[in-house]
Structure 1
Amino acid sequence: MYNNLNNYLGVIFATIFLLFSWYPLLVDSQIYPTTPVGCSKVSYSAEKLATIPASFDARDKWGDCISPVRTQKGCGSCWAQVTSGLLADRTCIATNGLVKTLLSPQYILGCSNNCKEGGQCNIGCRGGYIDVTLAFLESNGVVSDVCLPYQANDGSCPSTCSNGESISNATKVKAGKCYTYASLQDVQYEIMTKGPVIATFALYPEFSDYSGGVFVRTSNNIKEGHAARVYGWGNENGVDYWLAANSWGTSWGINGHFKIRRGTDEVGFEDNFISADANTDDLSETLYGSTWSNPSSGSALKPSFYLILTIIAYLILVPLFQSFA
């Protein structure tokens, strides 16, 4: 009996090792929070800053111009998710809601291998830099998610869409100049007049378990870096917060969104706000009148992490229990 048990335990540990080697944790994401370069610093007038309300939600002002929450799955693609999401949001806002086109984080993963001075480069599912990526979106642009659906892998830079159609400048959406901000009030005014911005921050284990309320760090164990689209602010039970969209699917947090304490630089959230304008001059006429498509969420060949665990548990535990019968 003990030999059988040892054999099964060996199989269990080997299976777990292979499983986690093959499939990264669902919530892993990598972003490198560095001081942005090549962006203009914005400072609004005191008169404009005086108009900032106590609370704001871009979804209330611009309706559904805030694009749907995406699911990055087992790929550290938050940097590609937030930059494509930001550009989609701002393009919709800049066209008064006439262009609602989800943009392809997969294209950014495969094509934006740009580097900062000093050799710091975007490296697909292992991480990237927001300022470098926004510069790529300004010079090169990005195709739609329909053209190149998300596969949750590095991939390569394609010359055709998944349906075989050629990729050209006419099929891309481009960003304008990127910006950073002189103060948190400047960030707020930017959000309420132009749309979402991006925040990079340190990721702590308890953030994965967030399900509501205002997030405040409780541990000292930095896991890695992350990024999110910030589109509002408010106050809950006396605590000021930022309102943001994550890229871990709608089952996480508040339907994929979260609130994080504002004014205390919680987990470095307020260190490096950054954004970019939408370039509407070169938009293809075919994009006008478009509506949000259902976000692609990865290759159909890669099943859910929980489904894998369920199948493996069944195949291993049932024979194990039968051996004791």
Structure 2
Amino acid sequence: MFIRTMCNSCVIILFLLLFNHEVLTRSVVRVKNNVGDIIDHVNNISKTTWKAGLSTSLNYMRDVEDLMGVLPIEELGSSLYHNIMDKELDKAEILPESYDASKQWPLCKSITSIKDQSNCGSCWALSTASVFSDRVCIGTNGSVDLNLSGEFLMDCCNGKCGRGCDGGHPEKAWKFIKNNGICTGGDFGSGEGCQPYSIAPCSGSSYSEPSADTPKCYLACSNFNYTTSLKEDLYFASKVYTVKPKMKAIMHEVYNNGPVVAAMKTYEDFLHYKSGIYQYTTGSPKGEHAVKLLGWGQENGVLYWLAANTWGRYWGMGGMFKIKRGNNECGIENRISGGLPKF
């Protein structure tokens, strides 16, 4: 009787082991096939406005959600900024059907600069620093064309703007620039400016790269070859604000003052964007992400925003993408912020 009970127990244990192995095997296959399923689903839609493909620049992340570094707007609390949504737009102003700030301001190379946040949720800092770089250049008619430091903004506004590599608020980043300034700093390994980005781009050889820790704030230049002191290297904003969540108001802002920061909701399919005008098709939500809007246009009657991402040049169209305009696609028109440089 005892032996029979033991044998029955062994059979049950063996069954459970085989069952669990089968479940785990199916799960792995399902996860691996999921990317292909998403890509096939997008590309097989008739009259689709965009194309998907494998995005090797994101293969290194253990948790892709960690790249989505915009914290919920509910955490902002009371409004801290002058909001131009009550400003009456010039009704006589005729905006072009298509516009690209980089072509309007060809001397400002910063506008076409594509950032790589690596395995850090620093999109909120990099996008804000990139937009302010553009606006400093535009405000000086192209005479001051430089990269301002997303590194400094992320590290030294940690706690005030959010949680560094674990996300932040673009709106608070703008306020930090107004009150504390922002120094210069290029991409990782560029040797440009006072505080270049210190987190190396991931190799893409592993699927288990953990999220990076937020670097420490240094109130001095980390680039020892840069001869200007941090205090003398700071650029300030005279005014920071949010923009009315309306298509014409955003177009007016970009046309008159330069690119803006936009926060958008991301989904699985967006990770695999390759070309065309993105609009949500399939997949689960991954979080909120900050990007730079620098223009607009239309293709085959479909209106779009032209935007720069912060996932390096191996994603999308060399780091750029188009997203449907006028219908608040993925909330892209809900949370727009900017600032004017102080000279």
Could you tell me the TM-score, scaled by structure 2's length?
A: 0.69
TM-fit CA distance, 1:25: 4.8
Alignment deviations for residues 98-139 of structure 1 (CA, whole Å, 9 cap, x no partner): 111111111112100244xxxxx5101000001111100111
CA distance in 1, matches of 2:151, 2:242: 26
1:244 matched residue in structure 2: 307
2:207 matched residue in structure 1: none
Q: Structure 2: which 5+ residue stretches go unaligned?
A: 1-27, 29-58, 186-192, 200-212
TM-fit CA distance, 1:172: 1.1
* Identity across the alignment (%): 34
CA distance in 2, matches of 1:87, 1:21: 29
1:87 aligns with 2:147: no
Q: Secondary structure at the match of 1:47?
A: coil
1:130 aligns with 2:170: yes
Q: Secondary structure at the match of 2:265?
A: strand
Larger Rg: 2
1:57 matched residue in structure 2: 100
CA distance in 2, matches of 1:40, 1:96: 25
Q: Structure 1: which 5+ residue stretches go unaligned?
A: 1-12, 14-19, 116-120, 282-325
Q: What is the 5 A alignment of 1:1-325?
A: 25=64, 28-34=67-73, 37-42=79-84, 43-48=87-92, 50-65=93-108, 66-115=111-160, 121-145=161-185, 146-152=193-199, 153-164=213-224, 167-182=229-244, 183-219=246-282, 221-279=284-342, 281=343
Paired residues, number:
257
Could you tell me the TM-score, scaled by structure 1's length?
A: 0.73
CA distance in 2, matches of 1:151, 1:33: 26
Q: Secondary structure at the match of 2:330?
A: helix
Select between 235-244 and 165-174 the one with higher mean Cα deviation: 165-174
Select between 70-79 and 178-187 the one with higher mean Cα deviation: 178-187
CA distance in 1, matches of 2:299, 2:141: 31
Letter in 2 for 1:188: M
CA, structure 1 residues 90+47, in 2 after alignment: closer, same or farther (shift >3 Å)? same
Alignment deviations for residues 173-229 of structure 1 (CA, whole Å, 9 cap, x no partner): 122211222332121111111100111011111111111100010125111110111
User: Would the aligned equivalents of 2:67 and 2:123 in 1 still touch at CA under 8 Å?
Assistant: no
CA distance in 2, matches of 1:181, 1:22: 33
Letter in 2 for 1:154: T
Letter in 1 for 2:141: N
CA distance in 1, matches of 2:324, 2:99: 15
User: Would the aligned equivalents of 2:254 and 2:294 in 1 still touch at CA under 8 Å?
Assistant: yes
CA distance in 2, matches of 1:95, 1:21: 39
Letter in 1 for 2:231: N
